[in-house]
Structure 1
Amino acid sequence: MSEMTLKEEWERLDSETRQWLLANPGCVLVPRTVTARIKQESVSRIEVDDHGQMMLSREDLDFIREKGADADAGQGSVDFRFFDATQPRTPD
């Protein structure tokens, strides 16, 4: 089993974990609660310290910043539309 990289595991992570990582792009040491969620979804080996925290590599940090920049760049260009489950009735 290889050591985990966020790039390889990103799609397996739940949205809450991804959001936390994107909101904390400079965090080198991931809190144990977030680490536990990553370990739960990961298929790779994750090394943790004595406190259950995971240390991110330079590659992981660069990946998170890249993902964050992609998300920021896309915010203005995507038009999200929400629809009700049923269509409103129009008068005859």
Structure 2
Amino acid sequence: MIIPRTVTAKLNHESGEDGPVDGHGGTLLTEDDREFIQDQARASKKEYAGDPRFFDSVRPED
């Protein structure tokens, strides 16, 4: 799993740090990072496992 370079650039700018990147400039995730993301996704899936949710949207005024 790799974080896109645009997100990487924003993270590096905000944190003042430069993490490891691949040849395309995307952040390389550690095993701990991947486990955290997967755990969060699983928890979110359980939380929203009920009926589909629909959201109203409003067309912007011209």
Both structures adopt the same fold (TM-score exceeding 0.5): yes
User: Which residue number corresponds to residue 40 of structure 1?
Assistant: 13
Percent of counterpart pairs with the same letter?
32
Structure 1 residue aligned with 2:59: none
- Please say which structure displays the higher CA radius of gyration: 1
Unaligned 5+ runs, structure 2: 51-62
Q: What secondary structure sits across from 1:47 in the alignment?
A: coil
**Structure 1 residue 71 and structure 2 residue 49: aligned?**
no
**Taking structure 1 as the reference length, what is the TM-score of the superposition?**
0.43
2 CA distance for matches of 1:64 and 1:40?
Answer: 22
**What residue ranges of structure 1 are gaps of 5+ in the alignment?**
1-26, 78-92
Distance 1:51 1:67, change over 3 A: same
Compare 36-45 and 48-57 and name the one that shifted more.
36-45
- Number of corresponding residues: 51
TM-score by length of 2: 0.58
1:1-92 matches, cutoff 5 A:
27=1, 29-42=2-15, 45-76=18-49
CA displacement at 1:42 relative to structure 2:
3.0
Give me the CA root mean square deviation.
2.6
Change (3 A) 1:50 1:62: same
